[in-house]
Structure 1
């Protein structure tokens, strides 16, 4: 094995091939000819001393050695990217790309926090991916992002993660304003379990938190309908299709407008936390480090300041129609 002969150019080519699983697409992505890609992969195999890819029919697959090398390529190229961003940051301040992922409920506050950060650092180029808990965990395992925003941490990965709390996330029981339980005090959890529940899809962090609470008390929710987003659930609750559990952060406008209300249920609000998470072995770029510092120091305060202004959008009285004066006959 002659790894000292391996070049960064070859690693970039192999990383692209491992991602696309196609010599043609890798060549297009790197603006090279297909024979050039094939030659470099062949030379890389000679340096490693084992086959890295195998062809079965018209498809190619990575060998065990190929999968190991693909992981190493991602690590090496990722560290070089971070180093490049750090050097740029040292010369010119906080700038350049930052990849963020967040679970669905975070979409109500993350754009606001990111907007405040960008006002201070306009040269930062953010990419924010909003998706459900399962997909966020997959992205975390695959090291696709600089930081991940989530509300519950996977036990099987806890030793590999650095997670820091920056914002409370109260979950509440939400109902239409004319629901018969509105105004009742300390509604037993068993009574709520009898209601028709509108639930997020499996994999949702909010659903998992509500399920754990019910199981702890020997209960199960009467699931009437599963919906794929908080917005869809809010509309279904407004339509009188059932009740649900949602993050209070997602309800500001609807509560102020009187379109929804919260029920006073025992064990609620169910307090969860928002965490900024990254893999423990990940070297954060200068930009990602500054954004993490911003979340930890200022995130909660800024969101507390922003929420009244968000609610104010529905507090403005509607413009009154001007009456046309009657003409004297």
Structure 2
């Protein structure tokens, strides 16, 4: 294949990345608004242009070949470069000056929309698009430049970002009012190992707090049931199905209603941080810059006032 003869297109590389991510032509097609046959045909054309097949059958899924795996980082680099070029052009044209795309992790849904509303009250001419995802979803949106700004706890490792801390983020241990541990004070970590816990998926902030709490004391992890959202965990704890580490910023209403109890445990609450961040080197529009600066400057006071009635063990 001569370099001047290549017919590889950026669209083919986008389809290739989606097919690798989903391990399915059908799922890639749904993401891209194409038909599965169109995706398959484009991957055949790309493979023919490279002179090698790019995917193999793997049961009902597909698997990238060794060549496809080798090509993957180059395809990611080329599409990322194109996306950055488009963002630069849009920024220069002023198309993004009054719009900011904000994503927040699901733990932030209890205060994030109120923080956005406070920003819009002082900047009524801006247009704010808000999305809420789990941690993996927010990181993926950062990687793909689908958002401008993110509100999250722990900063991502696989994406270079510029992060500004704007508030402390306390994690606490909660139980049903019916749980026997609510009668005790200054509970030791070792006393908790025998009790059942409810946890989020691996990689989530609350899961990391849970595992660090026991592993840092060289204690075995207690029995645990995995659940896919903080809302489900709260309901299960209220039903006395187990204990859970959870962000204190997600349980104010349940505490006020007497549906949940904070356990008085040595070493808790565990304080993490809230960050407002964006991809390092990203060209931010005027609205995105204003939102970042607003959260950095006004966020600490907002959070203190918003959660001032939250009772935390000392």
The TM-score range, normalised by the shorter chain, is: 0.7 to 0.9
1:137 is aligned to: 139
Whole-angstrom distance in 2 between the partners of 1:135 and 1:116: 25
Aligned twin of 2:63 = none
Cα RMSD over matched residues? 3.8
Q: Which residue of structure 1 lines up, in the alignment, with residue 289 of structure 2?
A: 289
Give the CA deviation at 1:193.
2.1
Distance apart, 1:154 and its partner CA? 3.5
Q: Quickly say closer, same or farther: Cα 1:54–1:284, change in 2 above 3 A.
A: farther
CA separation of 1:122 and 1:190: change in aligned 2, threshold 3 A? same
Gaps of 5+ in 1: 3-13, 39-50, 90-94, 312-329
Partner of 1:120: 122
Alignment of 1:231-270 (within 5 A): 231-270=231-270
Judging changes above 3 Å, is the alpha-carbon distance between structure 1 residues 66 and 156 closer, same or farther for their aligned structure 2 residues? closer
* Alpha carbons 2:169, 2:271 under 8 Å: kept: yes
Cα deviation for residue 134 of structure 1 reads 2.3
Residues 294, 52 of structure 1: CA spacing in aligned structure 2 closer, same or farther, 3 A cutoff?
A: farther
Counterpart in the other structure of 1:8: none
Which residue in the other structure is 2:211 paired with?
Answer: 211
Q: Give TM-score scaled by structure 2 length.
A: 0.74
Query: 1:70 and 1:53 mapped to 2: Cα distance?
Result: 21
Counterpart in the other structure of 1:149 = 151
Q: In 2 relative to 1, CA 309–217 (structure 1 residues): closer, same or farther, beyond 3 Å?
A: closer
User: Could you give the per-residue CA deviations for residues 78-136 of structure 1, whole angstroms, max 9, x where no partner exists?
Assistant: 11122333x774xxxxx22x122222101111111001111222332222222222232
Name stretches of at least 5 consecutive residues in structure 2 with no aligned partner: 4-8, 19-28, 43-48, 56-67
> What CA distance in whole angstroms lies between the structure 2 residues aligned with 1:130 and 1:102?
5
- Equivalence map 1:22-171=2 (5 Å): 68-85=77-94, 89=97, 95-96=98-99, 98-155=100-157, 157=159, 160-171=160-171
Question: What is the DSSP-based 3-state SS (H/G/I as helix, E as strand, rest coil) of the residue aligned with 2:271?
Answer: strand
User: CA distance change for structure 1 residues 284 and 148 in 2, over 3 Å: closer, same or farther?
Assistant: same
CA distance in 1, matches of 2:248, 2:75: 47
Distance 2:110 2:231 in 1: 11
- How many residues end up aligned between the 2 structures? 274
Secondary structure at the counterpart of residue 222 of structure 1: coil
- Provide closer, same or farther for how the CA distance between residues 183 and 83 of structure 1 changes in structure 2, counting only shifts above 3 A: farther
Q: How does 1:172-251 map to 2 (within 5 A)?
A: 172-251=172-251
- State the shift of 1:245 in Å: 0.6
| Contact 1:53–1:66 (Cα < 8 Å) also in 2 | no
CA contact (8 A) 1:197 1:225 kept: yes
Q: Which moved more, 1:73-82 or 1:124-133?
A: 124-133
Report the secondary structure of 2:181's partner residue: coil
Whether the 8 Å contact between 2:96 and 2:287 is mirrored in structure 1 is no
Q: For residue 276 of structure 1, give the secondary structure of its aligned residue in structure 2.
A: strand
User: Is the radius of gyration larger for structure 1 or structure 2?
Assistant: 1
**Matched residue SS, 1:264:** coil
